[in-house]
Amino acid sequence: MSSESNGSGVESSYVKIPQIKFTKLFINGEFVESLSGKTFETIDPRTGEVIAKISEGDKEDVDLAVKAARQAFDHGPWPRLPGFFNQIQIIKIITGHENAKSYLLFQKKKKKKERRKIMLKFADLIDENVEEIAALDTIDGGKLYSLGKALEIPGAAEHLRYCAGAADKIHGATLKMSRELQAYTLLEPIGVVGHIIPWNSPSYMFAMKVGPALAAGCTMLVKPAEQTPLSALYYAHLAKLAGLPDGVLNVVTGYGRTAGAAITSHMDIDKVSFTGSTEVGRLVMQAAALSNLKPVSLELGGKSPFIVFDDADVDKIASLALQGTFINKGEVCVAGSRVFVQEGIYDKFLIKLVENAKAWVVGDPFDPNVQQGPQVDKNQYERVLKFIEIGKKEGATLLTGGGKLSNRKGYYIEPTIFTDVSDDMTIAKDEIFGPVMSVLKFKTVEEVIKRANATKYGLAAGVMTNDMNIANKVSRSIRAGVIWINCYLDFDIDLPFGGYKMSGFGREMGLESLNMYLQVKSVATPIYDSPWL
């Protein structure tokens, strides 16, 4: 197949690269330039070349987006209709409807169904444009095109459908009181939400945050990572086509230190959802507390233990360990990069790891045979290489890899495995977010539990054994939000995801994810024949 170009130096010999259609901010249903007129460059990590210039949003642009979202929440059709009795009067005056109350209830039900209908249409449009979106994530973030097309983009659409199914099933409860009161709860949308999404999985993270917030009836502002803005802008376009009312979904591209900071400190944003590093998560919490004390949900860093016991199938689990660390070029928050191997199979396991790592294919992410593309940008590329050098200096043994790919330009790093790693080494403690694995030997169940928990993080863990007594003991002892037994990276829409400790709090995916965007209102009235009155 001949090479295709989009006019910006972006090309591939495997796939037709789409034209970049959307580069401006999306505010109140329209694509607009930033007020300052400033732009920033988004870079193709395969080559280091510029893809496009993107509007750079700042505080003033965030203010406009929040104003649009607030108007859509307070007065638009997307959330629950406000002002029940006033609307009855309006209906009586305008329509002369005899049964205004019944008419209003009918309209409410219709609008709830309409919310679901629009979200389902949004999901359908994603499916119809899956190849273009996958290509955008590949040129923008170095993600494998084949996985994006087959899994991540369809997964984003399915997540929207899952949440759409809950949009008209959000109910409170009738309460049995201890005194003569009649009481119930209402679940109401929290309001205007600020979503700050990371660069490692821009499409699925977009759906993971936007889906439940839309279903709950919230309006929102999304700030994609400055490294990967293209797919978020494309999703805004599809949301408009699906019929989402103006102001419900706004996208402001820009930098974390400016646009992101303006979101977290904004007095008219009611909730912030952030996925990113623990260091930035702290800043998000501080800004939220110092502004209007808005609630936050945080999905932060990880240094997940991947624990292999003597009875595990070495061939199968070595392959799984490799994928658990190197998938998505190691840019995965739950990467099982601390691989603990019991001493009885340690040497055999290392041999198999090296064999698999040397067969691991690094190259153009559009190539269907490639397993690992480039790091997302130059900064991350250099950061990972720095960690590799630190590992060498601190005395770990470099088993394989350890360098950059010399036969091509771009931000490619060899899959790297260290052994003779101690728990106090930097590469065993810090989140690297790259294709770097540390292999550590252990003897007993009690020892590995203690060592696995000796981290500030608590996002995920893997337990590989055929002994279910061991599996149960270890899974109940590890302080992490997700434990995979004899599998790894097996996410599901129904499986709540989130962290312990400095990996954050709050749960995404599953029906629990809607709770992050709902408030509970209790309503009580006296029963008038009560002896207490």
Residue in 200, 201, 139 with CA at minimum distance from that of residue 364: 139
Q: How confident is the model at residue 245 (pLDDT cuts 50, 70, 90)?
A: very high
Q: What percent of the chain has pLDDT over 90?
A: 86
Residue in 251, 241, 197 with CA at minimum distance from that of residue 219: 251
Predicted model pTM? 0.91
431 is annotated as an active-site residue: no
For the 305-492 domain, the top CATH level (class) is alpha beta
Q: How confident is the model at residue 407 (pLDDT cuts 50, 70, 90)?
A: confident
Q: How confident is the model at residue 528 (pLDDT cuts 50, 70, 90)?
A: confident
The domain ranges of the chain are: 4-300, 305-492
Answer for the pair 72, 94: CB distance below 8 angstroms, yes or no.
no
Going by the DSSP 8-state scheme, the letter that residue 330 receives in this structure is: G
Mean pLDDT computed over 97-110: 50
The listed CATH number (3.40.50.300, 3.90.1200.10, 3.40.50.510, 3.40.605.10) that belongs to domain 4-300: 3.40.605.10
173 pLDDT more than 60: yes
- Number of Cβ atoms within 10 Å of the Cβ of 343: 11
Answer for the pair 324, 488: CB distance below 8 angstroms, yes or no.
yes
Mean pLDDT computed over 496-505: 96
Mean pLDDT computed over 379-390: 98
* pLDDT tens digits along 479-491: 999 999 999 999 9
* pLDDT tens digits along 39-96: 999 999 999 999 999 999 999 999 999 999 999 999 999 985 332 334 444 444 445 5
- Please indicate whether residue 449 or residue 18 has the higher confidence score (pLDDT): 449
217 pLDDT more than 90: yes
Angle, in degrees to the nearest 10, between helices 230-242 and 100-128: 140
Q: Which of 299, 331, 414, 508 is catalytic?
A: 299
Mean pLDDT computed over 188-211: 97
Q: How confident is the model at residue 114 (pLDDT cuts 50, 70, 90)?
A: confident
**What integer pLDDT is reported at residue 186 of this predicted model?**
93
* AA letter at 226: E
268 pLDDT more than 50: yes
Angle, in degrees to the nearest 10, between helices 100-128 and 130-141: 60
Q: How confident is the model at residue 532 (pLDDT cuts 50, 70, 90)?
A: low
Phi, psi of 199 (to 5 degrees): -95, -10
* AA letter at 242: A
The pLDDT mean for the chain works out to: 92
* pLDDT tens digits along 287-337: 999 999 999 999 999 999 999 999 999 999 999 999 999 999 999 999 999
**What integer pLDDT is reported at residue 82 of this predicted model?**
31
- Say whether 58 sits in a helix, a strand or coil: coil
CA 136/CA 433 separation, integer angstroms = 21
Token pair of 385, please? Answer: 């290489």
By mean pLDDT, which of 148-152, 189-193, 509-513 is the weakest? Answer: 509-513
Token pair of 211, please? Answer: 């889906």
Going by the DSSP 8-state scheme, the letter that residue 501 receives in this structure is: G
Mean pLDDT computed over 390-413: 94
Token pair of 121, please? Answer: 């249409």
